[in-house]
Amino acid sequence: MSSEPAPFIPASSEATPIPPAPWRLFGTRPFFKLWLAQVFSSLGDWVGLFAILIITARVSDNSAVALSLVMAARMVPGFFLATIGGVIVDRFDRRKVMVVCDVGRAGIISLLPFVNTLGVLIAVSFCIEMLTLLWGPAKDASVPHFVQEENLARANTLSLAASYGTFPVGALIFSVLAVVATWLGGFDALSSLLVDREVIALWFDAVTYVVSAIIVLGLPIAGPDRGLRRKLEWMSTFSEIKEGFAFIRHDRFTRAVIVGLGGGIIGAGAMVPLGAVFAREILGSDAQFGVLLMALGVGASIGLLSLLAFQSRLPKDAVFAWAVMGVGVFLALAAAANVGGLAGLMIAAVGACAGSAYVTGFTLIQETVSDELRGRTFATLYTVVRLCLLLSLTVAPLSADLYEWLFGLVDSDRHITFGGFDYGFPGVRWALWAGAGITVLSGLYARHELRTLRVQIAAEGHPSAAAAPPGDDPTQPSEEEAQAPSVDPGLDGGRRSRPSEESL
């Protein structure tokens, strides 16, 4: 996957709002070349992931357990061993590390057309992710050599676009390559492509890694400072999880936002491992999987652009809660669809709601949490979101098989017929509905908590307090607020201080 820990998760807790005109950095040739290398590398990650999921579904006869194992192999290294990559990068030449990782990933992915058993797929997923854990920190550590400190925020914005903006592009390319493989399979000499339609996508994936390696090879990246050596912390993730849950237990506002985001991740994330099974069993075509993922990415882009256009006129707390609930509602509708077009439309709506919830959730924390608590809050948020994503990508496929087994005990024929219309209830559909339900409940909880906080503040006796965030005294504006331009009303308000943990 991309050089970041996982889709839709920022790479650093130091994330800042999008700076103006970040593309101006493309005038710096070394940075532009490094950015292009990341684009090719990320594009290969996405196309390769889609191909591996389809192959897994085929060789395992649509076993959700197999998909869960493959996704676990992809997620676990980044979840538990993320710090190792940074430590290794600090000890070796970063350019060589990136080139070796790209060439290594190209070589590993090239093996799949010849050997694609489930065990090999799990091993390939694990090895690719381990190499990605080295490539990402090496790239991030090289950026300051090419841009000045005041432009790092712009560089990080472009890096985020390269990682996640290639998601819908990769889905589109995968779908097109699947169609091309089907066409080529019509020739006798290439008839094997009718079965192994992912082969072309795998070769494309390998080529993107090679192109990335060639670009990086020509970059003037300085070697590491031997005097600065980071300590290897093997158990850092476990301590982060423990500290994170302890923090949100005492902070009601943060808990509402984090629960909402976590629930949205559980719902939307379930479509990634279950999408291949859903496309094959319900929509009837592997190519539909790429269409669904492309719809998810396009929908997220539309949601983000719409939010940017109307955010000044919308209360962010209400948008956040309804967007989270929208993820669950549209996911349930998508799971209920039997037609690819309708399912794709609903998944696009899922993406739009997920993108809106993601941005408004982060903005609420940035604008409402005081500076002295903001770092701890974001650290907790990233930890919880990573945990929810790991659960979604691994537990959702297992739950699909569990539903198949449970309903098989009651009734082996899980279909309803209305005249000439036949409607099935496979395990993948029930698993997606379960994820959608969790997401809706998370959104309802977030809405209830945020509204309750607003009412409590209003009850303190300030007429305008209902429009202020927790801990804000409307009668006593700070010096910064007095000098700053006005901001939109709502729970989020402007950049204001939060109350102490005890006051909540």
Q: What is the pLDDT of residue 269?
A: 78
Q: Are residues 25 and 124 in the same domain?
A: yes
The total number of structural domains in the chain stands at 2
Domain boundary among 204, 229, 254: 229
Q: Which residue has the tokens 């710096």?
A: 28
Could you tell me which residue, 455 or 322, shows the higher pLDDT? 322
Asked if 344 and 292 touch (Cβ cutoff 8 Å), the reply is yes
Q: What percent of the chain has pLDDT over 70?
A: 68
Strands 421-424 and 415-418: antiparallel
Q: What is the pLDDT of residue 105?
A: 93
Q: Are residues 263 and 185 in the same domain?
A: no
In a domain, 415, yes or no: no
Q: Are residues 495 and 370 in the same domain?
A: yes
In a domain, 131, yes or no: yes
Alpha-helical segments (H) within 143-286: 152-164, 166-184, 199-217, 236-249, 252-269, 271-278
Q: What is the pLDDT of residue 464?
A: 40
pLDDT in tens, 446-504: 999 888 887 877 776 544 444 444 444 444 444 444 443 333 333 443 334 443 333 33
Q: What is the pLDDT of residue 467?
A: 41
Asked if 348 and 326 touch (Cβ cutoff 8 Å), the reply is no
Q: Are residues 272 and 219 in the same domain?
A: no
Residue 444 predicted with pLDDT over 90: yes
Q: Are residues 367 and 460 in the same domain?
A: yes
Could you tell me which residue, 81 or 26, shows the higher pLDDT? 26
In a domain, 172, yes or no: yes
Mean pLDDT, residues 421-431:
82
Q: What is the pLDDT of residue 439?
A: 92
pLDDT in tens, 249-283: 777 787 888 888 888 888 777 877 788 788 888 88
Q: Are residues 310 and 444 in the same domain?
A: yes
Q: Which of 101-105, 146-150, 241-245 ranks highest by mean pLDDT?
A: 101-105
In a domain, 91, yes or no: yes
**CATH code of residue 204:** 1.20.1250.20
Q: Are residues 136 and 204 in the same domain?
A: yes
Q: Which residue has the tokens 């998909």?
A: 67
Residue 266's closest CA among 349, 362, 342, 350?
Answer: 350
Q: What is the pLDDT of residue 452?
A: 85
In a domain, 421, yes or no: no
Least confident segment among 41-45, 68-72, 421-425: 421-425
Q: Are residues 100 and 245 in the same domain?
A: no
Total-model pTM: 0.65
Residue 298's closest CA among 264, 247, 357, 347?
Answer: 347
Q: What is the pLDDT of residue 390?
A: 75
Q: What is the pLDDT of residue 235?
A: 54
Mean pLDDT, residues 132-155:
77
Least confident segment among 193-207, 305-319, 484-498: 484-498
Q: Are residues 204 and 261 in the same domain?
A: no
In a domain, 370, yes or no: yes
Q: What is the pLDDT of residue 1?
A: 42
Q: Are residues 337 and 198 in the same domain?
A: no
Q: Which DSSP helix (H) or strand (E) runs through 423? A: strand 421-424
Q: Are residues 132 and 281 in the same domain?
A: no
Domain boundary among 207, 229, 251: 229
Confidence of residue 440 (pLDDT cuts 50, 70, 90): very high
Domain boundary among 229, 252, 274: 229
Backbone phi, then psi, for 421, in 5-degree steps?
-100, 130
In a domain, 15, yes or no: no
Asked if 6 and 75 touch (Cβ cutoff 8 Å), the reply is yes
Our separate counts of H helices and E strands in the chain read: 17, 2
Task: Give the whole-angstrom CA distance, residue 447 versus residue 321.
Answer: 5
pLDDT in tens, 22-32: 566 776 788 88
Q: What is the pLDDT of residue 40?
A: 92
What average pLDDT does the chain have? Answer: 74
In a domain, 486, yes or no: yes
Asked if 194 and 185 touch (Cβ cutoff 8 Å), the reply is yes
Task: Give the whole-angstrom CA distance, residue 35 versus residue 215.
Answer: 10
Q: Are residues 212 and 261 in the same domain?
A: no
Range of the domain at 439: 235-408+429-504
Alpha-helical segments (H) within 339-478: 340-368, 371-410, 427-458
